[in-house]
Structure 1
Amino acid sequence: MRTLWLGKRAYAAAVLVLVLVISACSGGGGSTSSESKGANAPVTSDNKPDDGNKASEGNAAEGSGPVIELTVWDAPKPEDPQKALTEELFSEFEKANPNIKVTHELMPQGTNDREVFVTAMAGGNGPDAYSAAHFPIIGDWVGQGLALDLTPYWESYADKDQFIESSLQAGTIDGKVYGLPNDMYVTGLLWNKKLFEEAGLDRNTPPANWDEVVSFGKKLTKEDKKQYALTLLGMEWADWWFEYYVWQAGGDLTELNADGTVKLTFTSDATVKALQYYKDLKWTHKIVQNNVLQSYQDNMNDLFQGRAAMTNGASGGFGEYAANGLDLNDLGFAPYPVGPSGKGPSQIGGAYWIINPKSSKEKQDAAWKYVTYMMSKEVREKYYQFQMDNGIFPNLLSVRKDVDPGKYTTNVPQDLIDGVTKAAADSRLEYYLKERLTPYVVKAVQQALTDEKSDVMTLLQKAQEAAQKEVVDAYNASLK
């Protein structure tokens, strides 16, 4: 849900590593070797590639005519250790494209990056290209007219088949492409192999289903050592992890109808089963942390300090784990245990490059050239190589099929890389309208975790009634 889970959104070292991962996946640049590809062919006024036999006056791709000026929110922060590389790549792009002048800016300050972007766009001050249209918020932004339909560009993009299918899911709406994949992560079950071994469990075998989570959990929970089996998330992002349990039970928190309207499924059999199980982990089985409302970072601290044996992990987080003293050889990563549905899908998240639909056609053409240049195989590999040379841990999941992060790691166990690959094979996007519905789901989850006598159906019914009245009715009406 969050780019990474790298803080939806810490220790100073952890923050540094996460910043590196983010900038590595969304830092700028270009590659002259991709210039001859169809992705960078001249583009005509109807967004279709020119056949090369006629010039488009003022088109930056032609290498002649007036300079096209772009504003892009992708400047590296002053403390970014990759700043020099990023600026070098910026320079290479401009040398290869003298008719495109890119002004690289940091995102304006604000408490919420998404609100900052939407506010800027509404005021006519948005960038021509933006690299952080998150999964799944891009759907809302498309509905608000904040992202250009990139389909005509995409259809002639020589590298379109080099992006993994799951990276395209959130950015493809009604058969149209609105986002170019920038970075991505996948979640899964992360466990401490050392604690498994100490509990008499096979260090390489995680729980396969809900029943085994409980049976393993009882062996892993040791009150005298202040050690517990599994972290739950009960604070303001509680729905982030809870939705995984709903998926495992065979449902989701919302359904998207054919006409685009939304149906709430808070009271479905799957959601009720999931919340009852979540509650039982706390009150019946007692295998989770005592403070179920502690922060996400406190959950991670429990992992770092050997108090938590299992948690949710992400493909972009291993650098943080290593920076906080964990031996990667003692960590396991796998798809989630299955629930009553027999499935345990992982969650995918990340961000897209989008282009401003209100920019001029010439700027849109130039912006497409810039973002595809920046996401080229050559540039991605330069970042991975830089990370390896400088001890920066990479995200183990690449949006490009032809860029293998495993080649740029020297101390990552193969089973971790294999676990990420397996988790990515069965993945889902977060539930529809999550941004607006989070408070309602969170309230129900928190009450279930803090009140042993609470009835989960009653909690979910109240949450659904409030969400229907305060969010969904108005949303559905707006579509008509």
Structure 2
Amino acid sequence: MRPSLRIALTGVTAGALVSVLASCSGSGSDAAGDGTVTITVSGRPPATNAAALKTFDARVAEFQKANPKIKIKTNEYQYDQQSFQTKVGGGTLETIVRVPLTEMSGLIKRRQIADLTADFKTLKHSEDFNDVALGPAKGVDGKLYGIPTEEYALGLVYNRDLFEKAGLDPDKPPASWSEVRTAAKAISEKTDATGYAQMTKENTGGWMLTAMAYSFGDSMQEQSGGKWANTFERPGSGAEKALKALKDMRWTDDSMGKNQLRNITDMEKDFSAGKIGMTIAGPSMVGHYIQQYKGDPKTIGLGAMPVDGTSKRTLAGGTIAVISPRATEQQREAAAKFIDFYYLSTKYDVGLAEKDAVVKKKDGAAIGVPTVPFYKPAIADPVQAAVDKQANVPIGNFAPYSSTLGDYELAIEPPVEAQNVYKALDSAVQAVLTRQDADPAEQLKKAAAQVKSQVERAQN
């Protein structure tokens, strides 16, 4: 079923909300004789990042001031598979941990995170939450096991100046992969830049190939007999079509340049230097281009994910806040309240959203970069309008993305061992882009064989 979405130009970033969140108040449930409940929140910035740490501590203090019966302990723990398993087994898992969307199915199946179905209903505007954004946090039993904190949908990031130099319309970026091929060839022939480039290293090759497979109307894993299995190696799969498209651009058109080994940072640096005309990425790349690499906001554009055929699909990802399965009822209630305060309030509160945007703009952040809304239009639209008033980037440059996202199905990353699947697929993508004789179908078979046992073991 195709979702109906609108873009809400808002978000929570370091440096914002230090002074604007105090109005989100409440009190924790009794846990001790004096009614005090204590929870541990992971993700505190390290001391080496003094500015971020100061902001984090200030926001925690704001929450505790508004909720004197909830005591917050914090630490620097960041999720990774191995340490999470150790913490769960040893009973030392923090009350709140943020995990990638891809990890949810395994954590739910192993009962390593708490059921938050009832706790979620206590949040402000829980009934207005976007079902698509909430979907990855649900188990097959229909229960809710986490609260989304960030979500993105991939699109086409492009250089508007290079489009003009190549005789292309920067207000009408390619909408299909055949159009991407045509545009990439034009950019390569008429400018000194690479027409189209794709990430290939450190699991990004498999990540981007998955996004392309979705855009070709296919999946990477399917469920049969109650278990998931890789399907990307099937003859004629979306992954095979995607690799063939890349092979044509690389070797027939010579529109992908010579460097085929890039991770996210490499891609952002080369794109920001004007060396690349187009690539697939999330909207966050726009912010990095403007803030980190000091790129001219007028030169960057964001379009919808190119597709092949009539099906409009793109890959969505992000993070979900989960709660320890050992948390008491009172701790779960307090933790849900903190998650609402820290991550969600500026996504539904118009006043806080605009104040947040003002603070972020003063800190030099890019205001006006689109994101996936967490709430239905009745809530998201007024927030968008409030933040839009503070925009310091040309929002029109992102209209090809924001105006069409509502037509797209948002497909989450492969549910089982996604990162290992991506790692295996890195080699397939690199082979096709670095060896003219590499066969896409054969490379996908090798990748599937490499990761087959890992996917199976993860479900035992």
- Bin the TM-score by the shorter chain: 0.7 to 0.9
Residue 471 of structure 1 corresponds to 454
Counterpart of 2:357, as a letter, is Y
Aligned residue among 120, 123, 126 for 2:93: 126
1:82-129 CA distance string (max 9 Å, x none): 554443332232222222110122226xxx745444433333222111
For the residues of structure 2 that align with 1:222 and 1:172, how far apart are their CA atoms? 48
- Distance of aligned partners of 1:93 and 1:234 in 2 relative to their CA distance in 1, 3 Å threshold: closer
Residue 185 of structure 1 and its aligned partner are, at CA, apart by: 2.1
For the residues of structure 2 that align with 1:385 and 1:196, how far apart are their CA atoms? 33
- Distance of aligned partners of 1:299 and 1:163 in 2 relative to their CA distance in 1, 3 Å threshold: same
Q: Does 1:227 align with 2:193?
A: yes
1:3-40 CA distance string (max 9 Å, x none): xxxxxxxxxxxxxxxxx9654699999644554xxxx7
Residue 328 of structure 1 corresponds to 297
For the residues of structure 1 that align with 2:54 and 2:128, how far apart are their CA atoms? 28
Q: Secondary structure at the match of 1:221?
A: helix
Aligned residue among 33, 44, 65 for 1:95: 65
For the residues of structure 1 that align with 2:130 and 2:405, how far apart are their CA atoms? 10
Aligned residue among 346, 357, 362 for 2:330: 362
CA contact (8 A) 1:34 1:376 kept: no
CA contact (8 A) 2:17 2:359 kept: no
Structure 1 gaps, min length 5: 1-19, 43-57
Q: Does 1:399 align with 2:367?
A: no
Counterpart of 1:462, as a letter, is K
Q: Secondary structure at the match of 1:147?
A: coil
Higher relative contact order (CA 8 A, sep 6+): 2
For the residues of structure 2 that align with 1:28 and 1:133, how far apart are their CA atoms? 27
For the residues of structure 1 that align with 2:46 and 2:458, how far apart are their CA atoms? 37
Matches within 5 A, 1:38-187: 58-59=30-31, 65-78=34-47, 79=49, 81=51, 83-107=53-77, 113-130=80-97, 132-174=98-140, 175-187=142-154
For the residues of structure 1 that align with 2:19 and 2:106, how far apart are their CA atoms? 25
Counterpart of 1:396, as a letter, is P
Q: Does 1:461 align with 2:431?
A: no
For the residues of structure 2 that align with 1:268 and 1:254, how far apart are their CA atoms? 14
Counterpart of 1:88, as a letter, is A
Q: Secondary structure at the match of 2:218?
A: coil
Task: Output the TM-score relative to the length of structure 1.
Answer: 0.80
Residue 345 of structure 1 corresponds to 313
- Distance of aligned partners of 1:207 and 1:296 in 2 relative to their CA distance in 1, 3 Å threshold: same
Matches within 5 A, 1:30-41: 31-33=22-24, 35=26
CA contact (8 A) 2:147 2:320 kept: yes
For the residues of structure 2 that align with 1:308 and 1:356, how far apart are their CA atoms? 44
Residue 198 of structure 1 and its aligned partner are, at CA, apart by: 0.8
Residue 299 of structure 1 corresponds to 267
Residue 431 of structure 1 and its aligned partner are, at CA, apart by: 2.1
Matches within 5 A, 1:190-205: 190-205=157-172
Structure 2 gaps, min length 5: 1-10
Q: Does 1:412 align with 2:388?
A: no
Task: Output the TM-score relative to the length of structure 2.
Answer: 0.83
Residue 286 of structure 1 and its aligned partner are, at CA, apart by: 1.2
Residue 279 of structure 1 and its aligned partner are, at CA, apart by: 1.7
Residue 206 of structure 1 and its aligned partner are, at CA, apart by: 0.9
Q: Does 1:386 align with 2:369?
A: no
1:241-284 CA distance string (max 9 Å, x none): 11122122221211133624335332241332222112222111
Q: Does 1:431 align with 2:402?
A: no
How many residues were matched structurally? 429
User: Percent of aligned positions with the same letter in both sequences?
Assistant: 23
Q: Secondary structure at the match of 1:261?
A: strand
CA contact (8 A) 1:150 1:178 kept: yes
Q: Does 1:421 align with 2:402?
A: yes
For the residues of structure 2 that align with 1:28 and 1:474, how far apart are their CA atoms? 48
- Distance of aligned partners of 1:381 and 1:227 in 2 relative to their CA distance in 1, 3 Å threshold: same
For the residues of structure 2 that align with 1:209 and 1:289, how far apart are their CA atoms? 21
Residue 269 of structure 1 corresponds to 236
Counterpart of 1:330, as a letter, is T
